[in-house]
């Protein structure tokens, strides 16, 4: 397990900020898993899989009861990637290649035939396209599985881009962050080679692409140079990183209204943006490798085990189209400095006015004054020039009017 692998594992926790209720629980460690590194975490249907240093833990009831698989043979260097494919469980390790189980982890067999080249035993990621499983490696490029044998896919290793940080699928096109040479790589359906698109010229440090996401019809990638945006489906990229530091590993989670980015070096710093261009700092923490949201719980895979935070029933898993009433949530965090998030829900399209008032009822800032569609919405309040103290925020939507209190601490 390389130092870069360890640093990369300080990963996403952005769902922590997707607040749709006011009774958020505290972080609770999942007792059924060891209190040590949990490098990988995936959700397949309603089943959660968590990879440790030698075994996989499985929960089918939303995370309350966990079953441990048998240990992988050979003392692997952590389980860095997981996939469920063709009814089988695949575990990609940080030095012992791939293991496969056809009975949900009761027995494991190595599946490394065809994995050749320096770094081919270090599996970073899996992706499935059109019934084919692909594996990204840290050093030997990408492989695809054919009749239980791995075959090199494309020419990433030959183009000195064999160190694959991630694989993803965007509209049937495989996307790879590889090489650290300033490029992002694409393999559309039917292609046998990778096409590289230059993100930015190299500077003093390698430009590594660590993630890709879509937001409001555009593509975003997280790199060691910051955030880049594409309006032409990835054919060209422009820097869109105001407020996000460079020389970090940047990864994303996107919602309908907000894009969250984590920027990681020794610490993970969280940022949010509503336009994909200007970013505001939110939170800082360490030790998170992976995350997922399932059954109103946010799970964080950390260096000290698996933790969760319980969300109320009005979570992001609920349909935005089944709301029955207007609602204004308590802002989070509260008290706050320098910014906070205010969430509200609309059962129907409405003209919304959301204002912040001082203790005397005078308006100090208008946050929203426009028509909004039915659904859950969030807006950030990052005041400038306001003193510490108690303020109020008030929403007016149709005949619905509600006021709540917030506390600014300088």
pLDDT in tens, the chain (410 residues): 433 333 333 333 333 444 333 334 577 999 989 999 999 999 888 899 999 999 999 999 989 999 999 999 987 779 999 999 999 999 999 999 999 999 999 999 999 999 999 999 999 999 999 899 999 999 999 999 999 999 999 989 877 788 999 999 888 899 999 999 999 999 999 999 999 999 999 888 889 999 998 888 889 999 999 999 999 989 999 999 888 877 777 888 776 677 888 787 777 777 888 889 999 887 676 677 887 777 778 788 888 899 887 866 543 433 333 445 788 888 888 888 888 888 888 877 889 999 999 988 899 999 999 888 777 788 888 898 899 999 999 999 988 889 999 999 97
Matching residue, tokens 């509503």:
274
DSSP assignments along 220-251, one per residue: EEEETTEEEEESSTTS--EE--BT--SSSEEE
Q: Is 185:196 a contact under the CB 8 Å cutoff? A: yes
Same domain, 306 and 339: no
Q: Which two tokens stand for residue 62?
A: 């939303």
DSSP assignments along 42-104, one per residue: EEETTEEEEE-SS-EEEESSSSSS-EEPPPPTT--S-EEEEEEETTEEEEEESSS-EEEESST
Same domain, 103 and 140: yes
CA 267 to chain centre: 16
Q: What is the pLDDT of residue 291?
A: 76
C-alpha angle 308-258-375 in degrees, rounded to nearest 5: 90
Same domain, 103 and 177: yes
CATH code at 225?
Answer: 2.130.10.10
Q: Hey, which residues does 285 pair with through a beta bridge?
A: 268
CA 159 to chain centre: 28
Q: What's the predicted TM-score (pTM) here?
A: 0.70
- Give the whole-angstrom CA distance, residue 69 versus residue 58: 8
Same domain, 172 and 277: yes
Q: Is 331:354 a contact under the CB 8 Å cutoff? A: no
Nearest CA among 92, 97, 124 for reference residue 11? 124
Contacts (Cβ under 8 Å, ≥6 apart) of 154: 141, 142, 187, 191, 192, 193, 194
CATH code at 401?
Answer: 2.60.40.1930
Nearest CA among 239, 286, 242, 291 for reference residue 265? 286
Asked, for residue 319, whether it belongs to a domain, the answer is: no
Q: What is the pLDDT of residue 18?
A: 40
Q: Structurally, how many domains does the chain consist of?
A: 2
Helical residues (DSSP H) of 278-365, grouped into ranges: none
Give, rounded to a whole angstrom, the gap between the first and last alpha carbons of the chain.
42
Which residue range forms the structural domain that includes residue 349? 327-408
Same domain, 184 and 277: yes
């Amino acid at each position: 397990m390389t130092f870069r692998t360890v640093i990369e594992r300080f990963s996403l926790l952005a769902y922590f900020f997707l607040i749709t209720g006011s009774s958020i629980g505290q972080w609770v460690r999942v007792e059924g898993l060891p209190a040590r590194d949990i490098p990988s975490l995936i959700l397949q249907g309603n089943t959660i899989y968590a990879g440790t240093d030698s075994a996989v833990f499985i929960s089918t009831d939303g995370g309350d009861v966990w079953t441990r698989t048998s240990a992988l043979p050979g003392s692997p260097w952590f389980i860095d990637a997981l996939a469920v494919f063709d009814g089988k469980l695949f575990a990609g390790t940080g030095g012992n290649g791939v293991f496969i189980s056809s009975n949900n982890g009761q027995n494991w067999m190595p599946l490394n035939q065809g994995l050749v080249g320096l770094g081919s035993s270090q599996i970073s990621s899996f992706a499935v396209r059109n019934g084919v499983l692909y594996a990204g490696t840290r050093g030997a490029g990408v492989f695809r599985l054919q009749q239980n044998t791995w075959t090199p896919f494309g020419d990433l290793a030959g183009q000195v881009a064999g160190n694959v940080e991630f694989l993803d699928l965007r509209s049937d096109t495989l996307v790879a962050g590889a090489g650290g040479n300033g490029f992002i790589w694409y393999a559309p359906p039917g292609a046998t080679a990778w096409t590289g698109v230059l993100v930015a010229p190299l500077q003093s440090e390698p430009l590594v692409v660590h993630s890709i996401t879509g937001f409001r019809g555009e593509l975003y990638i997280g790199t060691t140079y910051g955030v880049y945006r594409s309006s032409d489906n990835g054919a060209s990229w422009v820097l869109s990183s105001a407020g996000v530091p460079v020389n970090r590993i940047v990864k994303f989670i996107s919602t309908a209204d907000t894009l969250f980015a984590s920027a990681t070096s020794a610490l993970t710093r969280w940022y949010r943006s509503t336009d994909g261009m200007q970013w505001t700092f939110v939170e800082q923490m360490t030790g998170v490798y992976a995350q997922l949201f399932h059954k109103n719980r946010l799970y964080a895979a950390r260096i000290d085990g698996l933790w969760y935070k319980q969300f109320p029933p009005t979570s992001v898993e609920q349909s935005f189209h089944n709301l029955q009433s207007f609602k204004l949530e308590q802002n989070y965090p509260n008290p706050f400095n320098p910014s906070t998030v205010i969430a509200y829900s609309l059962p129907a399209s409405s003209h919304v006015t959301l204002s912040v008032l001082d203790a005397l009822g005078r308006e100090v800032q208008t946050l929203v004054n426009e028509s909004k569609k039915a659904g859950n919405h969030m807006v950030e309040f990052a005041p400038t020039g306001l003193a510490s103290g108690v303020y109020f925020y008030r929403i007016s939507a149709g005949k619905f009017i509600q006021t709540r209190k917030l506390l600014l601490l300088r």
